[in-house]
Amino acid sequence: MSFRLSVTSALVACALVAIFPSASLSAPVAGAPEFGYEALNGPTRWAQLSSEFRTCDTGRQQSPVNLNPSDVKTNVFPTDFALPSFNQFEVENKGHTIQFTPKDGNSRGMTVDGSKFTLQQFHIHTPSEHRIAGKHMAAEIHLVHESADKKVSVVGVMVEETPQDNPLWSAALSNLPAEPEAKVALNAVLDTSEFVNVTKSSVFTYMGSLTTPPCSEGVRWFIPATTVKMSIKQLDTFVSMIGYSARPTMFNENVKEPTKKAAAKKEGGAAKKEGGANAREGAAGGSNGAKKSVERGAAAGGNGNGAAKQPCPPGANNNNGGGQQNGRVTAVEEDEEDEE
C-alpha cells in the first residue's frame, strides 16, 4: 500500500469518519436551517432540516455516485458545448463552497436531449463528490446549467493536484472572499480551455440529482474521465475557506457501482508490482511511515507558524483506523472503498 501527502488524503480521511421530480435551481427554502457538512447539519441530517429536503433521504436517483470505469463512453458529450473564457464574474463564499457566476454577458451552454441549457454558475467541492472505482480526486468543479423549463444538467470536472501552480487559475484565485456570505466582483480572465479539452475525452453520464439540498432529481450529469490540474497550494486556498464539502456517494438505481472484485482485477498487475516494492522497503517502512504521518498532519494542519487548517467536520471521531485525532489528520489509504 502507498500513502500520499495531499489535500485529497486529508479530506478523504474526514470522509471516512464524518458521514454517513425535475430538478431546478430554486432559491433557498425560506426559514430552512442552513445545511452543511458538520455533525449537526451534515448529509445524514439534511432530510431532517426541512420538509423540502426529504428527497435527500427518500430519493432513488441520488448523486454523487461511485462510477464504474467500464461505463465510460465516447461521443455522448454535447457537441455544441460552448464555454468561452470568463473575464468578469461575481464570486461568493457560500460557507460550504466558493461559487463563480459569470457577469460578462457571453453565451455559454449546451444542448442536452434536445433542450438548450445555459450555464448559470460553477462552484467547487473539496474533495471530489463523485468517485471513480472508489477513488476520490482532490476536488470537483460543477458547471451548473439550466434550461428554459428549469431542468438542470451539470458538468462535473475532476481536479487533480500537482506540485506546480496552474497559471490558468492564478487570476481567479487572487481575490476570493474569505468570509462566509461575502461577495466580490472579479474582473479577471479565467481561461476555460482546460474545461473544454477534458470534455473532448470519454465521459461518464447518468441521471441523478443535485448533490446539495433539496437534492432534487432529474439532473443529467456529465463527468469527463480526464482531469484539470491545480497545485496543492491553490487547492488549499479553497480548503482553508470551505473545508470538507462533499456529500458521500449515494444510492442511484440508474448506476451500477463497481465492485471491489472488479477494481482488484483492473489493478491486479499494479498491485503485484507494488507488493514487491513494499517487501523490499519493509525495513524502512516503520520509520518512514511515521515520518509521513507527521508530514501529512502538517500538510493538513499548517506549517506550525500559523493557525491549523480544519478540513474535517468538527466533532468527527475516528473509529476507522484513520482520520482526525486530536486535531491531526493521520494516514488514510488513498483507495479506501465503502463496503459493498
In a domain, 43, yes or no: no
**What pLDDT does residue 96 have?**
94
**What pLDDT does residue 68 have?**
95
Q: Which of 132, 312, 140 is nearest to 206 (CA)?
A: 132
**What pLDDT does residue 264 have?**
53
Whether omega before 213 lies within 30 degrees of 0, making that bond cis, reads no
In a domain, 317, yes or no: no
Q: What is the count of structural domains for the chain?
A: 1
User: pLDDT by residue (tens digit) across 270-305?
Assistant: 444 444 444 444 444 444 444 333 333 333 344 333
Q: Angle CA(259)–CA(338)–CA(99) in degrees, nearest 5?
A: 110
User: pLDDT by residue (tens digit) across 313-339?
Assistant: 443 433 333 333 322 222 233 344 443
Give strand pairing partners of 179: none
Cβ within 8 Å of residue 187, ≥6 positions away = 87, 88
Report the CATH number that the domain containing residue 170 is assigned in CATH: 3.10.200.10
Q: Would you say residue 215 has pLDDT above 90?
A: yes
In a domain, 338, yes or no: no
- Is 125 in the active site? no
In a domain, 302, yes or no: no
In a domain, 331, yes or no: no
Q: Which of 218, 68, 87, 186 is nearest to 133 (CA)?
A: 68
In a domain, 210, yes or no: yes
Catalytic entry in 96, 123, 130, 136: 96
Please compute the mean of the pLDDT values over residues 52-69 and round it to a whole number.
97
214 lies in which domain range?
59-250
In a domain, 181, yes or no: yes
In a domain, 226, yes or no: yes
Which strand (E) or helix (H) includes residue 249? Answer: none
